[in-house]
Amino acid sequence: MTREIKNLKQFSSVAERFEGSHLLCPGCAHGMIVREVLNAVEGPLLIGASTGCLEVSTAVYPYTSWNVPWIHIGFENSSTAIAGAEAMYKALVKKGKYTGEKPKFVAFGGDGSTYDIGFQWISGCFERGHDITYICLDNEVYANTGGQRSGSTPLGSSTSTSPAGTTSYGKKEKKKDIVLIMAAHGAPYVAQVAPNKWKDMNKKIKKALDTEGPTFINAMSACTTEWRFSSNKTVEVSDLAVDSLVFPLFEIIDGRELNITYRPKNIIPVRDYLGAQARFKHLFKPENEHIIEQFQKDVNKRWEYLQRREEARI
């Protein structure tokens, strides 16, 4: 049964499950997303977290920011850790040893542990049909370990392992389309969200948590440190991301039915989004302008695809 979505007043008065006394960077969107996930629903929650910014900044021994059961094992396997807890729950229920309210099982991972290092673990959990929700905090870089490029890092971004210079314009490869990959698993629900559109994010989080089976959320998490913008510009940069369609907001149900959940009234050029982040500043040199043009073409092509697929319901 789907629970009622909380309004802003309810969010402001709810008992916190994620404390603000953590070590995430000022302006980091991770905390905004995680707080909303934990406060979006009532009832018991079990959380797994992969190694990454979230894990190292919220559980510095002997302290913790988590007011819910939380487990961390390794970089790659928050999905299997929480799937193990879900399997244990089923076993206890079968044996009559647990009669309480069914918990929600949630795993968090960054783009490095989702797109790359932990992908086979996530894929396996979805193939086996575990009743879990996996949430990727997508900041498009290995922000916790030195700013290396990941499979989520976009074309042209300058990182510590794909640096821009006299002979390079940054990363040569395009960003992996993780949402469509997870939808191809036949998952009952996958979606893309952004913290600046909090109502859309809240609705999708609740759908994911209330849907039986493995569900997936890809959450854009603007990184003030590695994207290189002022820490008070997180929401502004997030607005640019969704309004330029670089990060479109949509959902896919049962691997087939695609719904676009946010259509900007005024679509802005991709260059406005890129220009707000120093990781792309080199693209505005005359010799690299063609990368901005290619970026725009790629965004346009993907948006056209999403619209066609929504209309066709395939």
Which two three-digit tokens encode residue 10?
């309810």
Structure confidence at residue 16 (pLDDT): 83
- HSE-up (13 A, CA, CB side) for residue 15: 5
Tens of pLDDT along 245-264?
A: 999 999 999 999 999 999 99
Which two three-digit tokens encode residue 178?
């993780």
Give the orientation angle of helix 119-128 with respect to helix 78-94, to 10 degrees: 30
Q: Percent of the chain at pLDDT above 70?
A: 95
pTM: 0.94
- CB burial class (10 A; 0-12, 13-18, 19+) of residue 227? buried
Domains and CATH numbers, the chain: 8-312 (3.40.50.970)
Look at residue 50 and tell me whether its pLDDT is greater than 80. Answer: yes
- CA 222, CA 227: separation in Å to the nearest integer? 7
Look at residue 3 and tell me whether its pLDDT is greater than 60. Answer: no
Q: Position 198: which residue type?
A: W
Look at residue 313 and tell me whether its pLDDT is greater than 80. Answer: no
* pLDDT class of 290 with cuts at 50, 70, 90: very high
Tens of pLDDT along 135-178?
A: 999 999 999 999 999 999 999 999 999 999 999 999 999 999 99
Look at residue 5 and tell me whether its pLDDT is greater than 70. Answer: no
